[in-house]
Chains A and B, each alone.
Chain A
Amino acid sequence: MNQPTDNERMRRMFDDAVSDVEPRHSLDQIRARTATRQHRRGWFLGAGAAAVATAATITAVALLGEGPGATNAPEPGVAEGSVEPVEPVPVFYVGDTGQGPRLFRELHRVGTGSGVLPGALSQAVSASPDDPDYRTPWPAGTEVVRAERADGRIVVGLDLPGDRRLTAAGVGAEELIGFQQLVHTAQAATKSADPVRIVLDGQRVDTLLSLPLGEYPTQGDPRAQVWIDQPAEGEVVRSSFEVSGLANAFEANVQWELMRGDQVVKSGFTTAEECCTMAPYSFTVQAPPGSYTLVVHDSDPSDGEGFPPWRDTKEITVEQ
Chain B
Amino acid sequence: MSVRWDPDAAVEEMYAAHYRRLVRLSVLLVRDVETAEEVVQDAFVAMHGRWRSLREPDKALAYLRQSVVNRSRSVLRHRGVRARHLPDPSHEHPGADVEALTAERRTHVLDALAHLPERQREVLVLRYYLDLSEAEIADTLGISRGAVKSHASRGTAALRNHLKDAR
Contact = CB atoms under 8 A, between A and B. Distances in A.
A15 B131 CA distance: 11
A14 B129 contact: yes
Nearest to A16: B106
A14 B28 contact: yes
Contacts of B105: 16
A33 B106 contact: no
- The secondary structure that dominates the B interface is helix
A164 B74 CA distance: 14
Contacts of A16: 105-106, 109
Interface string A123-162: 0000110101101110110000000000000000000000
B48 interface: yes
B23 A30 contact: no
A76 to B, nearest CB: 19
B70 A132 contact: yes
A236 interface: yes
B19 A14 contact: no
B24 A21 contact: yes
A17 interface: yes
B45 A128 contact: yes
Interface string B23-61: 110011000010011101110111011101110000100
Contacts of A140: 38, 42
Contact of B145 (A17, A20, A37, A262): A262
Nearest to A133: B142
A92 B75 CA distance: 19
Interface residues of A, number: 50
A230 B145 CA distance: 27
B71 A21 contact: no
B154 interface: no
A163 B20 CA distance: 26
Contacts of B77: 137, 172-174
A135 B81 contact: no
Nearest to B37: A23
Contacts of A262: 135, 145
B23 A23 contact: yes
Contacts of A34: 7-8, 11, 45, 48-49
Contacts of B11: 27, 30-31, 34
Contacts of A174: 74, 77-78, 80
5 contacts: A11-B129, A18-B24, A127-B45, A170-B81, A313-B142
Interface of B: 7-8, 11-12, 15, 19-20, 23-24, 27-28, 33, 36-38, 40-42, 44-46, 48-50, 52-54, 59, 63, 66-67, 70-71, 73-75, 77-78, 80-81, 103, 105-106, 109-110, 113, 124-125, 128-129, 131, 135, 142, 145, 156
Considering the complex of A and B, which 4 residue pairs feature the smallest CB-CB distances, nearest first?
A: A234-B53, A17-B109, A23-B23, A18-B24
